[in-house]
Amino acid sequence: MSCEKQFVFYAAIVSFELEVGGPGWVKNSDLELVDGRGNRYNNERDKRRFTVRPCQRSRSMIITILLAGLLFILAAGIRCGFALDDLIWMAVNGIKKAVNVLSVLAIVGILTAMWRADGTIAYIVSSAVGLFKPSILIVTIFLMNCLVSFMTGTSFGTAATMGVISMTIAGTAGVNPVISGGAVISGCFFGDRCSPLSSSAILVASVTETNLFDNIRNMLRTAAVPFVLTCIIYGAIGLGGANQVDAASISDVFAKEFQLNRWMILPAVIVLGLSMLRVDVKQSMTLSIVCAVILCVVFQHRSAAEIIRIMLTGYKATDSVAAQMINGGGLLSMKKVLMIVCMTSTYSGVFSGTGMLDGITEYVKTISQKTGRFLCIVLLSVVTSMVGCNQTIAIMMTEQLGCVLYKEQENSQRAVDLEDSAVLISALIPWSIAGAVPAATIGAPVYCLAAACYLYLIPICRLVRKKNIFPGCNN
């Protein structure tokens, strides 16, 4: 069996990750909301449940599969004539190249915990939830989740906070969960794609050796038209109207847990402001963490020991209702993501050192000549997302296989092409944890991904604008 065929066999092994495990059910809060007629809706009576455990179970399975895949790749390398010691060093070199992204991800874990502990996320959510109006409910759901995801850089975290709140309000207002779920997922991946705190954006910048903020600027440019179209679509859908909801109860929940004031927004302002000034992302996040620590001490009256514990294990609210919406973060919350990145980095190192993928990349070149470069990357992303079932794997595999289509000076274009394909398409695969976990977290049916129009409008608009839908295009 050739090296290329062995790699294909490995891909088939990875595909067994589909439909891993069952949901772990966690009861939502007993928070009451009131519509315009004074009718009360209680989540216990509505029997709403939100799944929050599949993420961890799926990630554990991914790590196991990745480890098995690594062993297979090492065996394939030995069959191709490489010494085991050399293969191990190739894998180590792959990890070395990912040290920067690993350190950033660790800081992100600490940062998101501190934003929870100091009241930053609670303040943002409390301020934003009052903007939900019946006539513009769906587009507001999209925009609010865009805001929170951009502030936090995480689709999972956004789904667990603003996403859960949005679905609760939308359900109370009588909105179809498929539509509201699609709006939430679209908003979650707005920031997951282009936030300076996003692990996917950081990963893309790392593997393509590009500047994160230059990439963000390019991403915002390619997202402008799809963003407007998404707002128009959700706005048109929302014209049918919805019931008025009193969201004051949600703000009251956070008011019991935190001392909230305008100072709470400062850690987010620091990150965004310094990002615009193109300050190194690790420096800007570190300063934001310092600011959050000060706010924790001054306003939330937390001790040094408690702050250190939160940095490591994440924030845990004392109020049971608030806990459903705000708990999470911490260095340990990133451990499985860090392991996934390490494992996929070993693959990259071995593939690069052995040339295992050379045969497959020739097929990629042939397809690109017939379809156009970006369409080829899109098709490649579909395959890697279906096989990898994970955003990180999809990004790494697509970059590894598609890099042959770009010249050395085209790294920036390669980065934005990855962001407009693999980062988004992985969330549209029903069995991928990228989209399935946020959908499960907010209690929406998985086919709500079909209503996440922002995710597929970006690659579609790119294809139309560049005319990559026509054979022979090289862009």
**Residue 20 in tokens:** 């891993």
Q: Of 53-67, 101-115, 181-195, which one has max mean pLDDT?
A: 181-195
Is the pLDDT at 105 greater than 80, yes or no?
A: no
284: which residues sit within 8 A by CB, 6+ positions away?
196, 270, 271, 274, 275
Evaluate if residue 16 carries a pLDDT over 80: no
Counting the structural domains of the chain, the total is: 1
| Per-residue pLDDT band at 135 (split at 50, 70, 90) | confident
Mean per-residue pLDDT for 262-281? 80
Structure confidence at residue 281 (pLDDT): 72
* pLDDT digits 0-9 by tens, 250-267: 678 888 889 888 999 898
Distance CA 199, CA 191 (A): 10
Distance separating alpha carbons of residues 186 and 183, to the nearest angstrom: 5
pLDDT of residue 460: 93
The answer to whether 51 touches 315, Cβ cutoff 8 Å, is no
- Among 170, 174, 94, 106, which Cα is nearest to 132's? 170
Has residue 455 been placed in a domain?
A: no
pLDDT given at position 433: 72
pTM of the model as a whole? 0.65
pLDDT over 80 at 191, yes or no? yes
Does residue 50 carry a pLDDT above 50?
no
Residue 348 maps to a domain: no
| Residue-level pLDDT at 183 | 94
Pairing of strands 32-35, 25-27: unpaired
DSSP H or E run through 49: strand 49-51
Give the helix ranges, DSSP H, for 209-280: 212-238, 248-257, 266-276
Is 422 a member of any domain? no
pLDDT score of 51 more than 60: no
Q: Residue 95: which of 201, 206, 9, 229 has the closest Cα?
A: 206
Token pair in block for residue 426: 């992985």
The DSSP string of 402-471 is: HGGGS-GGGHHHHHHHHHTTHHHHGGGSTTSHHHHHHHHHTT--GGGGGG-HHHHHHHHHHHHHHTTTST
- For 285-321, write each residue's pLDDT tens digit: 899 899 999 999 999 999 999 999 999 999 998 888 7
Per-residue pLDDT band at 470 (split at 50, 70, 90): very low
Domain that holds residue 45: 24-49+97-335
User: Model confidence at 53, in pLDDT bands (50, 70, 90)?
Assistant: very low
Tell me how long the chain is: 475
Asked if the structure places residue 139 within a domain, the reply is yes
Rg (CA), the chain: 22
In a domain, 419, yes or no: no
12, part of any domain: no
pLDDT band at 358 (very low <50, low <70, confident <90, very high): low
For residue 272, is it within any domain?
Answer: yes
459 belongs to a structural domain = no
pLDDT of residue 185: 94
